[in-house]
Chains A and B, each alone.
Chain A
Amino acid sequence: MSVDKAIEGGGRDAALAAQISSQAVPRRALGDLFFRGLTGFTAIFLLSVLIAIGVALWREGWDAFRTFGFGFLWSTAWNPVTDQYGALIFIFGTLVSSLLAMLMAVPVSFGIALFISELAPHWLRQPISSAIELLAGIPSIIFGMWGLLVFAPVFGNMEPWINGHLGKIPGVGLLFQGPPMGIGMLTAGIVLGIMIIPFISAIMRDVFLSTPGILKESAYALGGTTWEVMRHVVLPFTRTAVVGSIFLGLGRALGETMAVTFVIGNTDSLSASLLMPGNSIAAALANEFTEATTHLYKSSLLALGFILFVVSFLVLVLAKFMLWRMEKRIGGGAL
């Protein structure tokens, strides 16, 4: 309305026009201010969720931390009957199963990324990328179910062989003792590894493909083989991002619940053997939460959740920083 007035006024009176426009501007700005405020508020809300997660889990787990002190972190006790709790079994299981998953997923993902970015003919690139991404789309509960009902029986048949051969090696053999049950730490590591392959390989593929063509072409022009170009040009150029992608995969592996819960065996005891059942933080939470009757039991489980949150948060922050450095580098005129 004030805009119409300004047009009618036709700028006859400078003072009037100034007055009108000073009315007009706030009216327009109000809509902008509201919109900006609304969107900005949701963005801040988003930021606060992450902080709130940490605070809420710390508060809920506080009773466990207060009762058991720092000893909670390295106590192997986990006994609902006597109300004694310690996190070590679960921290150990989470770390070992994730480590096994990484041992399997990192080389395979690297191979897949190398194949897609350097080897595959152009027409094959997209189908293979899509297929691997399809693997990422399958819900984790399907991995778990398949792991328990299909993979574990097959793997259980292979375990006597593992026992007989790898188990005989002095030292290392200790890792491969135990009854052939099909489920256990190693099975969990394998299923977890299959699950995170698509996440790691997708990022590796992207960063490999982002290496400036001119660098690769120069190396090829000097007579380098595909592997040498990969090893001495592409890898050094993308090193931080490659490590970042590995950490991102690790972040996924640490917190993955369903795929692990089905196959890790859920035994609250420590064992050096990878064929023995164990437990992880996420699996313990999924299995025991609804059964936790005492207050301290529940609090201990939530304290486990807090530990998982802190560890995966740190891993993800590290991953993100490394990937960002790479982004900056590519954005910084290299391309």
Chain B
Amino acid sequence: MISLYQRRRFWNIFNMSMATLATLFGLFWLVWILWTTLSYGFSALHPALFTENTPPPGVDGGGLKNAFVGSLILISLAVAIGAPLGILAGTWLGEFAVRRRFGSVVRFFNDILLSAPSIVIGLFVYAIIVHPLGQFSAISGAIALALIMIPVVVRTTDEMLQLVPSTLREAAIALGVPYWRLVTQITWRAAGAGILTGVLLATARISGETAPLLFTALNNQFYSTSLDRPIANLPVVIFQFAMSPYQNWQAMGWAGALIATLAVLALSIVSRLIIKGKTKGGA
């Protein structure tokens, strides 16, 4: 007969094994996906990738130069728009609205926006910019990416400012420093590394975003840097090439995927290192 003790032991061991298996299961996909991206990507890497534009269907050769340049333009513009707005709104939350009801409301909706489907943001920008102007454009793509970026920056800025010890603020106020100078010269500097991390993480997030660009920046087979026309960009080119039946397009898609993944991972690792160095130095 099985004793109660044995039954309890069995269930414990069984469930703990399942938990371990679940972890291995999760890691298994990670390894598989990364390994495929690395191996297919590296074998398709080629100097021409960076010097030639995307080829028309069925033509050998070519590269992804226009897509790289386009993505860089889109991302830098998005950061230029999104980072200041995000930092300002986050500052209001972290400095002026820590315990206010309206602050909680803004925080709540910011978190919703943070998890909102990016495709919906893309449609929104289509509805307010692309549709009225009658033209897909690089600038609308950058705005869509900025809107996706802002909630991330707001949230980290808010959290980082709340971590700044209030004694620092009290000391400044006792010296008669106006509040705006206190924020810009003391708390922003104290929370600087954290805020920078937020911006980097947000940049990493938008670097791989594809869905919103389908309705805004679209794609361009040619090299273009003008902001009021459709612009080539890495994610949409990967989408187009991976879905295509052409071998050389698919290979180029993998190379693009590799570079996008490496860029995103590098950004998130750098931001992690910044936070780590900061907390170590602080402690």
Contact = CB atoms under 8 A, between A and B. Distances in A.
A141 B235 contact: yes
Interface stretch (B10-18, B61-69, B163-171): B10-18
A interface residue count range (under 10 / 10 to 19 / 20 to 34 / 35 or more): 35 or more
A135 B33 CA distance: 9
Nearest to B207: A139
B231 interface: no
A319 B114 CA distance: 13
A137 interface: yes
B116 A316 contact: yes
A74 interface: no
A39 B210 contact: no
B210 A141 contact: yes
Interface stretch (A10-18, A83-91, A302-310): A302-310
B208 A140 contact: yes
Given A46-B110, A137-B265, A226-B12, A112 B23 contact: yes
Interface stretch (A159-167, A268-276, A285-293): A285-293
Interface string A242-285: 00000010011011111001100000000000000000001001
B140 interface: no
B250 A289 contact: no
Interface string B239-283: 100110000001001100100110011001000100000000000
Contacts of A225: 8-9, 11-12
Nearest to B238: A141
Chain A CB within 10 Å — which of B22, B91, B260 has the most? Answer: B22
Interface string B1-45: 000000011011001101111110111011011101100000000
A313 interface: yes
A35 B16 contact: no
Contacts of B118: 255, 257
A146 B242 CA distance: 9
A138 B33 CA distance: 9
Nearest to A136: B268
Given A36-B96, A258-B239, A134 B117 contact: no
Interface in A291-332: 302, 305, 308-309, 312-313, 316-317, 319-320, 324
B16 A312 contact: no
A63 interface: no
Interface stretch (B46-54, B178-186, B221-229): B178-186
A50 B19 contact: no
B117 A142 contact: no
Contact of A308 (B29, B105, B117): B117
Given A139-B208, A285-B119, A115 B97 contact: no
Contacts of A35: 179-180, 183-184
A148 to B, nearest CB: 7
B133 interface: no
Interface string B134-148: 000000000000010
Given A31-B178, A43-B106, A308-B119, A144 B242 contact: yes
A132 to B, nearest CB: 6
Contact of A112 (B12, B22, B112): B22
Contacts of A144: 239, 242
Nearest to A143: B33
B127 interface: yes
Given A39-B92, A53-B121, A146 B116 contact: no
Contact of B260 (A31, A119, A139, A305): A139
A201 B250 CA distance: 33
A142 B272 CA distance: 22
A207 to B, nearest CB: 16
Contact of A119 (B19, B36, B91, B150): B19
A320 B111 contact: yes
Contacts of A141: 208, 210, 235, 238-239, 242, 257, 260
A171 B254 CA distance: 41
A145 B106 contact: no
Contacts of A107: 22
B274 to A, nearest CB: 15
A119 B20 contact: yes
A42 B242 contact: no
Interface string B183-204: 1100000000000000000001
Interface stretch (A54-62, A65-73, A174-182, A211-219): A54-62
Contacts of B264: 137-139
B112 A38 contact: no
Given A139-B261, A308-B117, 11 more contacts: A31-B180, A40-B92, A111-B18, A111-B23, A119-B16, A198-B26, A248-B115, A256-B117, A257-B117, A258-B211, A305-B120
17 contacts: A35-B179, A46-B85, A60-B123, A111-B19, A112-B26, A138-B208, A138-B265, A139-B207, A139-B264, A145-B253, A226-B16, A228-B12, A251-B115, A255-B119, A309-B120, A313-B116, A324-B108
Interface of A: 28, 31-32, 34-36, 38-40, 42-47, 49-50, 52-53, 56-57, 59-60, 107-112, 114-116, 118-119, 128, 130-132, 134-135, 137-146, 148-150, 194, 197-198, 201, 225-228, 230, 248, 251-252, 254-258, 261-262, 282, 285-286, 289-290, 302, 305, 308-309, 312-313, 316-317, 319-320, 324
For the complex of A and B, the 7 pairs showing the least CB-CB separation, nearest first, are A255-B117, A139-B208, A111-B22, A35-B180, A39-B92, A225-B12, A257-B211
